[in-house]
Structure formats: structure tokens, C-alpha cells
Amino acid sequence: MAQIQIKNIRKDFGDFNAVKESSFTIEDGEFFMLLGPSGCGKTTTLRMIAGLELPTSGEIYLDGEEISQLPPSKRDIAFVFQMFALYPHMNVRRNLSYPLVSQGMARKDVKAKVEEVAGILGIQDILNRPVGGLSGGDRQRVALGRAIVRDPKAFMMDEPLGALDAEFREHMSEELRALHDRMNATTVYVTHDQLEAMQMGDKIVVMNNAVVEQFGTPQEIYDKPATMFVADFIGSPSMNFLHFDGNVGEGAESVTLGGEVMHVPRTRQGASGKLVFGVRPEHVTLSDSGAYRGEVLASEYLGTTQIITLDTPNGELKARIDSAQVAKVGEKVGLGFNPKTITLFDDGSGHALRSDLNNEVLTNG
């Protein structure tokens, strides 16, 4: 299989800039997610890797070979679309055989390959059925099979589960990931669903407004967001932003929020003016004491945990706490923040300030 290297690719459609100079590397065998809201340029990026769009500038390397201007057929990449397109008048076997036959492969090799792929996907018993009568899951498996039979160097998938309902989607995402683990094929997968990206991906690129905001492992991106956009887009509920005016020196280990001193990871960069104190809901604790206080606006029961919405001197905040803990609407409570997990942002640029927590990630990314 293959390593894919993206170097400064850019795509313009007339006056519209769909992807700004972007660079990242997809390692051999990785399940790689392109994540972002609609219109962020993730599908355009995928289509450029597959050759369905040609980049305006920049390079794409597939196993060291520059392919950015090659036609799709010369790239040896398989594409799985959101709406799985099967030939309706052919049965499953012929749908699977078609890509091989059209490549001129010998009959008995085609037969063997189709059997092998059907085995991987668990669809041996429906090979002679027409595709018309298949369930959604089986149609999806056949569509995947058609991508797999060619033994391509890499798979491109554009929201392949987007059209499915929640329960089935969960099931198919597990199946897809298990399939990847068996075949170890480099896979690039586009989604706007952050949970899907976190669940399935080895690495994630988060895009917004044609720009790569961050690139890293799911946990890295979650714990050490590079921008406010990433912090907000990843996680549910997303990271809390407490806005404050302040002056933070390089090497500072605390900031003043609502008159109270809050410890933060040691900063490696100073900033002043409008700043943001970023804390994830599960890193907020509620107590009777505590000088920094908030008023409980709402609670949402989720079984083991509950989400508490609070009004604080620096804006609204959500906390994820044990559902056994009591928090009454209208009550004022003390708030604590796990100091090791805090990310400070510059409100104007939206960029995270470098600190002992995120320095490594931000320097590499």
C-alpha cells in the first residue's frame, strides 16, 4: 500500500478559493480523516488526491511519485462515494467482477479474486443475487467490494455512511474500521461528524474555510487544540470558552479570571488584551466552596454523567459531572478547573497560546 504526501496544494474555482496551501502526510496503512463543516474544502482535497480535480498549485506524492496532474486511472486509487453507485441490472458477482474484467484480467483470476473479496466482506452467499433486492448494508458492502477488488494503493471515501440512520451507521462504521484493520489499506475518509472522526480515525485533519486548522491523532487534537475552531468543533459538548481581558507573560503559571487566580500549564508565549480560557466540560468540578462561582441554569441527565449549564462571570459554561452529584437550577456553586488541561487562546486570532501542555503539538503542526 501507500504513503500519500500532500505539499502546499491549492485549489481555485474561478475567483473562489476552495483549498488554501495545505500540507500533510498520510502514512502507509493509516485510516485518515478529513474533518470539517460543509464547504470547508475537505471533499475538494479528497478529490484532488483521487484525481477527480486537478490542484491549481502544489504537489501530491503517492509512494514518492508525484501524481497531482495524472488522470484518476493512472493513480491506482479507489473511490467510494456517499451514494453507492452499483450497476442495477447486474448481479452482485458481475458488479464485483466488472472493474477487473475491464482491466483485462483473465476469467479464472477474476473469479478467484471476487471469491476472496466476497469472503473478506462476508457476502459469499449473495453473489448471485441481483443488487436491486439487497438491504442497505449489503449494497454498501458490495460497493466497498468493488473498490477492494482492484487492490488499489489507497481508498478514498466521501461520507460513505452519511445516508444511513444512526443505529446502522454505528454498526457499519465498526465494520468498516474492522475491514481496514484486516487489510491495512491506506484510507482517506471525509466526514463532518466529529464523533465518527474520533471513533474511526488514526489521524485527523481538521479543515475550516479552505485551511487546515490542525493535523494529529484524535486524542492530541482533543487535548491540545491549536485553534478555537478546533476546540469548538471537537467534543460534545464542546470546549468552554471563558472570555477575559488580561496580560499573560511568558512563563506564567496562572491567570486571573473574575478576580480569582486560576492555575494553567506554564505558558511559553506571552499575550495581552482579549483572551480566552478554554476548559473541557469534564475538567470542571462543582463544589460548595470555591471562590469562583457560577449559577446553575440547567441540568441534563445522561445516565452515568450529567451536563450542567452554568452562568459564570465570564460567560456560559458546561460541566460534565457524575449524575449522583446534586446541582439544583438556580443554585450558586463554586467551580474548579483541572489546571493541567487548560488551553489559553488569543481571542482575536483564535490561536492557542503555546504552553507546556501543547508546545510539542503546536511546534510540529
Partner 1 sequence: MAEVILKGLSKSFGTDVGIADVSMTIPDGAFVVLLGPTGAGKTTTLRLISGLEKADAGEVWIGGRNVGAETPAQRDVAMVFQQYSLYPHLSVRDNLAFPLKSPILNTPVDEIERIVAEVASVLQISHKLDNKATALSGGEMQRVSIGRALVREPSIYLMDEPLSSLDAKLRTDLRVELKRIQANLGATLLYVTHDQIEAMTMATHVGVLNEGRLVQYGTPREIYENPNSLYVASRLGLPRINIVPADVFGGMPAGVTQIGMRPEHIQQGEGQEAEVQRVEHLGDQARLHLVLKGHAITTIADPHTTYTPGAHIKIAPKNPLCFDAEGARISSGRTVT
Using CB under 8 A as the binding rule, whether residue 52 contacts partner 1 is answered as no
Using CB under 8 A as the binding rule, whether residue 59 contacts partner 1 is answered as no
Q: How many residues bind partner 1 (CB under 8 A)?
A: 32
Residues 115-174, interacting with partner 1 (CB under 8 A): 174
Only one of the segments 3-11, 152-160, 288-296, 301-309 lies at the binding site for partner 1 (rule: CB under 8 A); that segment is: 301-309
Using CB under 8 A as the binding rule, whether residue 189 contacts partner 1 is answered as no
Report in angstroms how near the CB of residue 222 gets to partner 1 at its nearest: 3
Per DSSP, 282 falls in state G
Only one of the segments 104-112, 113-121, 195-203, 286-294 lies at the binding site for partner 1 (rule: CB under 8 A); that segment is: 195-203
String marking each residue 255-294 x if it binds partner 1 according to CB under 8 A? -------------------------xxx------------
**Cβ-contact 347, 275 below 8 angstroms:** yes
CA gap 315, 308 in Å, rounded: 14
Helix (H, G, I), strand (E, B) or coil at 152: coil
Using CB under 8 A as the binding rule, whether residue 29 contacts partner 1 is answered as no
CA gap 264, 277 in Å, rounded: 9
Nearer to partner 1 (CB atom), residue 108 or residue 328: 328
Using CB under 8 A as the binding rule, whether residue 330 contacts partner 1 is answered as no
Residue from 181, 250, 331, 360 in contact with partner 1 (CB under 8 A): 181
Nearer to partner 1 (CB atom), residue 29 or residue 235: 235
For Cα atoms 319, 320, 321, give the angle at the middle one, nearest 5 degrees.
110
CA gap 165, 234 in Å, rounded: 21
Task: Please state, in angstroms and as integers, the Cα–Cα distance from residue 181 to each residue in 29, 32, 186, 187, 219, following that order.
Answer: 9, 13, 10, 11, 19
String marking each residue 222-261 x if it binds partner 1 according to CB under 8 A? xx----------xxxx------------------------
Report in angstroms how near the CB of residue 211 gets to partner 1 at its nearest: 20
The one-letter amino acid at 302: L
Nearer to partner 1 (CB atom), residue 56 or residue 323: 323
Helix (H, G, I), strand (E, B) or coil at 157: strand
Report in angstroms how near the CB of residue 176 gets to partner 1 at its nearest: 12
Using CB under 8 A as the binding rule, whether residue 328 contacts partner 1 is answered as no
Using CB under 8 A as the binding rule, whether residue 297 contacts partner 1 is answered as yes
Using CB under 8 A as the binding rule, whether residue 347 contacts partner 1 is answered as no
CA gap 358, 353 in Å, rounded: 9
Only one of the segments 55-63, 77-85, 253-261, 302-310 lies at the binding site for partner 1 (rule: CB under 8 A); that segment is: 302-310
Report in angstroms how near the CB of residue 282 gets to partner 1 at its nearest: 5
Using CB under 8 A as the binding rule, whether residue 193 contacts partner 1 is answered as yes
Longest dimension (CA), the chain: 78
Using CB under 8 A as the binding rule, whether residue 354 contacts partner 1 is answered as no
CA gap 172, 165 in Å, rounded: 10
> Which of 276, 287, 268 is closest to 333 using CA atoms?
287
Using CB under 8 A as the binding rule, whether residue 337 contacts partner 1 is answered as no
Helices (H), 10-91: 42-50
Using CB under 8 A as the binding rule, whether residue 82 contacts partner 1 is answered as no
Q: Which residues bind partner 1 (CB under 8 A)?
A: 174, 177-178, 181, 193, 195, 198-199, 217-219, 222-223, 234-237, 280-282, 297-298, 300-304, 307, 309, 320, 323, 329
